[in-house]
Amino acid sequence: MSVEPSRIAANLAEVRGRVAAACARSGRRPEELRLVAVTKTVGVEEINSLLALGQMDIGESRVQDALVKRAAAGPGARWHMIGHLQRNKVKRALELFDAIHSVDSERLALTVSQEALSKGTRAKALLEVNTSACLAGRQGEESKFGLAEKELFALVRKLADGGDFRGLEAVGLMTMGPLSGDPEAARSCFRRLAQLRAKVGEIFRGGGFSELSMGMTGDFEAAVEEGATMLRIGTALFK
């Protein structure tokens, strides 16, 4: 898929305008949000077009794709891992990405922490929550990854205690809206994630968990209105 730079510029301006309008409706400021451009369907030329426009946050879903694209892309980008991460690819992911949005299990969190500690560093990560499963009276979507509510709180307590998990710097929570793409159905999931962050703050008192990564092309305006700090948008930028 190849998209002309002029189209990308127009699309980016449109998305930013919609974000600003959603901020105005909800009493927020656009600078409170970070747009992560999801580039999994495009190539290095499109990434460089974004960088030239000042869009520096780039999201990729696969380690192997990021390996190729990061090597060829221009400087200055901040790379975000937004897809499911297998534990056997954690080492390479920590070399490529500035933040991992998709820590979706305790086992993965431990692997990320141990690998970061082996490098003498801490890995910035968000815990992925399956909010569909957390909502009362609604069955979770089994095709989604993510922690259930009890798993989230159990993991947060271990992160707060440090120990083997001290190599993971928890900066926030992440979720996906329902696979139906209905913005209003997604709204309840986004609201639930914001509520969970508040509860997590009661357990994790050492700072962190300031980010809410939620909202994609079909539902990002609802995410803005419900408190998102990171939006993961691809299709709207490359239509």
- Give the CATH number for residue 136: 3.20.20.10
- Of 82-86, 179-183, 210-214, the poorest mean pLDDT is in 179-183
Comparison of pLDDT for 117 and 177, the residue scoring more: 117
Residue type, 86: Q
Residue-level pLDDT at 205: 73
Strand 99-103, strand 123-128: pairing: parallel
| Structure tokens, 187 | 């709204």
Strand intervals (E) in the chain: 34-38, 57-60, 78-81, 99-103, 123-128, 168-174, 211-213, 230-233
Q: Flag whether pLDDT at 142 surpasses 70.
A: no
* Averaged pLDDT, 39-55: 98
Strand 211-213, strand 168-174: pairing: parallel
The whole domain housing 42 covers 5-237
* Averaged pLDDT, 84-109: 98
> Which helix (H) or strand (E) segment is 235 a member of?
none
Name residues whose C-beta falls within 8 Å of residue 116's C-beta, 6 or more positions apart in sequence: 94, 122, 123, 167, 168
Residue-level pLDDT at 228: 98
**How many domains, in total, are found in the chain?**
1
| Structure tokens, 126 | 């968000």
Residue-level pLDDT at 202: 87
**What DSSP assignment string belongs to 140-163?**
--TTS--B-HHHHHHHHHHHHH-G
Helix/strand/coil percentages in the chain, nearest 5? 50, 15, 35
* Averaged pLDDT, 118-144: 77
| Structure tokens, 237 | 């930028």
Q: Flag whether pLDDT at 220 surpasses 70.
A: yes
In angstroms, rounded to a whole number, what is the distance separating the alpha carbons of residues 91 and 113? Answer: 10
Dihedral sign, Cα of residue 123, residue 62, residue 79, residue 200:
negative
